[in-house]
Amino acid sequence: MGCPGFKAAGVSAGIKKPGIKDLSLLYSEKPATVAAVFTKNRVKAAPVLLDQQRAGSGRCQAVIANSGNANCCTGEKGMQHAIAMAKKAAAELGIAEELVQVASTGVIGVPLPIEKVEAAVPDLVAALRPDGFTELAEAIMTTDTIPKVVSKTGQINGQTFTVTGVAKGAGMIRPDMATMLCFVATDVRADAGTLSHALKNASDQSFNRITIDGDTSTNDTIILMANGVSGIDIDSADASPAFQSVLDDVLFSLAKAVVKDGEGVTKFVEVRVSGAATKEDATSIADTVAHSNLFKTALFGEDANWGRILAAAGRAGVPIDPERIDIFFNEVMMVENGIGCGDDAEAEATKVLKLPEFTVGIDLHMGDAGHTVYTCDFSIDYVKINADYRS
């Protein structure tokens, strides 16, 4: 699995336990156009600050990333270490330092062992290969249990293009970029404005619609590189929709994989709000329900406690009429006009709750707007994982 004109690799630098991959590289054989989106957290890691500066140029040729250490809240040394990572990778690749982006994920507040990173870069570059995307995905994992790689192709005027993405994320996940690293490679040609527009649209339909625990990290980064080796130009109005569709598909597939692999997750749940007066109202209610710890623990307990859904909708800060609301678990109507549908409906809804994936539908009967957020249950294992994360 790969993308024409790109190579990838992942190796162990000794940041984490010996033998565990923790340093990765994505490399384009020619300079590429770049677009990126970053965390909205006001506390930003050094790599994020560095990448924000460099992404403005619209050009990139490589991304080096480590796991096991966030390189965040580490003072002036943190920025020096982020620059050093890029500089070492650039030297080994023989490219300009400014064409290297940097990403980190892991524990906050601990100095990055830059000597280990620099020592491992030659082996990392030597390990680059066209089908190295799985190794890259493995090397950015933290509490993830599986590497996340998605590759899809599309066609424009009979010519084929490819979009391949990797992502990590299992905790500290919520909309507004979610909390993860995501690197995407494509062989189309585009200017920076077109690529940025496409990435924002795809992010809004995917990573900005997922939540695991409602927490937002300091290191969130999505980087999209387009090297143009396919010869397909997406800057025209005719070509852009075809590319957007494939990019949307790749990012949405990665976003779903992040939620399904969430810390302690046993349920993948679509919270679908319909019949809202405005899109903003639908979004507020979907987000509030999807983030509700009481709702999420009920999902884990397979308890059709629809009162928690109604209560969350009522505190979303938007006008609703409780006596109009219907609630569904898949196709099972649990609540009609704000009133529970009885024991038989609850028994059928409980069967739905035992499934690994299902939809919770909330029809407000206030208008025609809707919104969907993808969430999960809140399990005992989530607490265990995060109670001793640093150890």
The residues annotated with a catalytic role in the active site are 179
CA distance 268 to 44: 29
- Residue 368 burial by CB count (10 A; 0-12/13-18/19+): exposed, middle or buried? exposed
CB 165 within 8 A of CB 363: no
Q: What angle do CA 203, 149, 65 make, to 5 degrees?
A: 80
Q: Which residue has the tokens 């980064």?
A: 221
Beta bridge partners of 162: 153
Query: Could you give phi then psi for residue 84, rounded to 5 degrees?
Result: -65, -40
The pair of structure tokens assigned to 225 is: 């590189």
Could you please report the per-residue DSSP string of 237-259?
A: TTTHHHHHHHHHHHHHHHHHHHH
| Of 158, 156, 141, the residue nearest 21 (C-alpha) | 141
